[in-house]
Chain A
């Protein structure tokens, strides 16, 4: 399968103006996503991963705004799109799934009504025909007895079922790109794994590209072809999932993996990254991870450029790890 570019982001910067001056939540992000690609974006809270997702959707609210960079969707520059232009795109060719399904659904409207509205907003189609599409969409996300569920109100469904409904709505207009922001974080592992399987299958069948945003490296590893690790508004490392997990190059990625309980012998102290995320108002002037990094030297006082240690595996670090290992494997 040849993969053609679908979304191309260059130098994206999203700032929020505050009384103390603008704060950059997303600070120079470059990303390329091809059709059918599944990209995982991993980061801790405050790393800017959600704002990145909202920026791609044109959903950043004031006082935030995109101040620099270019977002091209399917060859069209959407950075300067008007709200009317966005409405033609959003929910139609790009769809977003949010963390909390209760807040994405209208509590006083039946599920079916909401779903039909999502179709008729973009297509001139009779309610009868729309009902057929809606039923099929419900079956596709694994909801049995769709008629019963379509007549229900959101509060009558369980959390997992509600998130499936939200996914079904996102898939209604067969979007080219789905952005899922922590869609399984509020759910139990058993429900999470069902949704991961469904999403993986649905994207494979429809050829939609998927951006899966999560704080959980384990979840991302299950679904993504490629992973981008965000730290303090920047992508510090990205690469193919297997390679990145096998030989993480950025000390932050390596630290994240090491701090997962499963990666330490039982009962032993975990490897933890000292300190916490830097505050946006008080960012280190060079590498933003340097104050927590054991490898940092004076050379880290200038922001590191993205360097590629193997094709497609880029890292923003002056002293990356595992470079030798990655090279040896390639030869």
Chain B
């Protein structure tokens, strides 16, 4: 926890949110070259090769909260995760960690950036194949002078013990571990710098079902013992549902629905959330004959106008083509971004 936050805690003041995003935007694309700039200067439209991955997102993660983030591939959920982790700077908007602006990790090497850590989908790619486990875990704490080089081994033993690995793993290399064990190593490495928030981007997607359960249990245990906040990103709603306090549903760069987990599942409001929940394969309910969601995610290079879901939406109105809905709260505390719903409310 950052110094200012612990100071507030001592004074008995309410703690700021662990993470606060204020109308954060991020796009990817080619920066205009000379020819483009000349063309634009002469009045031509800027080329459309810009992908608006995150388009005006407001979101908070409270202290000790697990916020789940679901959506189809290409909806911008990984980009949002990287913005929260400070790996990518936003084009506009603010990312606050414990109420303070986050350091730009791409530019500054400051200790304040350690507060948010990230765990990736593929643990094999996230670890250096030629680095021993002890070095992988202690490299960051040593570089940031959180520990002395002489205490590195003892520190790594403790870090590994926390994720259920033995001391004999210290001098081994990543290829000598199974996928589940490698993900445990990545978790140990992320926790080595005492973060307050951990961004987990599809952390169990590459694991087998039986191993997936072990890692999910580890996440639940660590949250309780270290009072961590998580942003838990996954395409698998059953996983997100299990670990999250609240769930945000993302569609083409925007949050379309946000509610407490039980509330969202029992009473999904947005037509996209309803369709998404209907399509999750389960053991107890056969796949319905009718398909609720027409077509596929539109290209994010040319997103639809107005409400971005309107071309696939079963209840779209004429107005949805031109006017973009905002994410607004309903009386129940359930946030939803849909013109049809707010009209009734």
Chain A residues with CB below 8 A from B261, complex form: 266
Is the interface on chain A under 10, 10 to 19, 20 to 34, or 35 or more residues? 35 or more
Contact A44 B262, beta carbon cutoff 8 Å:
no
Contact A194 B291, beta carbon cutoff 8 Å:
yes
Quick one: which of B72, B221, B281 contacts A221, CB cutoff 8 A? B281
| Residue A18 interfacial (CB < 8 Å) | no
Not counting A270-B213, A271-B213, a sample of 9 additional A-B residue pairs whose C-beta atoms are within 8 angstroms of each other reads A189-B281, A190-B276, A200-B287, A223-B287, A255-B210, A260-B209, A267-B220, A267-B242, A272-B211
Quick one: which of B180, B241, B281, B289 contacts A218, CB cutoff 8 A? B281
Contact A188 B73, beta carbon cutoff 8 Å:
yes
Provide the bound-state CA to CA distance between A141 and B128, in Å. Answer: 43
0 or 1 for each of B209-253: is its CB under 8 Å from A? (1 = yes) = 111111011001100000000000001111101110000000000
Given that A222-B287, A270-B242 are contacting pairs, would A189 and B280 also be in contact in the complex, using a CB cutoff of 8 Å?
A: yes
Provide the bound-state CA to CA distance between A279 and B262, in Å. Answer: 41
In the complex, the number of residue pairs spanning A and B with C-beta atoms less than 8 Å apart equals 115
0 or 1 for each of A157-201: is its CB under 8 Å from B? (1 = yes) = 011110000000000000000000000000011111110110010
Contact A261 B216, beta carbon cutoff 8 Å:
yes
Nearest CB in chain A: distance from B200 CB, A: 14
Chain A residues with CB below 8 A from B276, complex form: 189-190
0 or 1 for each of B280-317: is its CB under 8 Å from A? (1 = yes) = 11110011010101001100000000000000000000
Provide the bound-state CA to CA distance between A161 and B299, in Å. Answer: 13
Provide the bound-state CA to CA distance between A188 and B212, in Å. Answer: 19
Query: Considering only CB atoms, which chain B residue lies closest to A221 in the complex?
Result: B283
| Residue A75 interfacial (CB < 8 Å) | no
Query: Considering only CB atoms, which chain B residue lies closest to A265 in the complex?
Result: B242
Contact A276 B180, beta carbon cutoff 8 Å:
yes
Contact B262 A269, beta carbon cutoff 8 Å:
no
17 sampled A-B residue pairs with Cβ under 8 A = A44-B211, A189-B276, A189-B280, A191-B296, A193-B281, A193-B291, A196-B287, A219-B281, A245-B283, A260-B209, A260-B238, A261-B242, A263-B283, A266-B242, A267-B242, A269-B221, A277-B208
Binding site for A on B (CB under 8 A): 72-73, 178, 180, 208-214, 216-217, 220-221, 235-239, 241-243, 261-262, 275-276, 279-283, 286-287, 289, 291, 293, 296-297
Tell me what chain A mostly uses at the interface: helix, strand, loop, or mixed.
helix
Contact A269 B235, beta carbon cutoff 8 Å:
no
Query: Considering only CB atoms, which chain A residue lies closest to B289 in the complex?
Result: A197
Contact A160 B296, beta carbon cutoff 8 Å:
yes
Contact B209 A267, beta carbon cutoff 8 Å:
no
Nearest CB in chain B: distance from A151 CB, A: 19
Contact B210 A44, beta carbon cutoff 8 Å:
yes
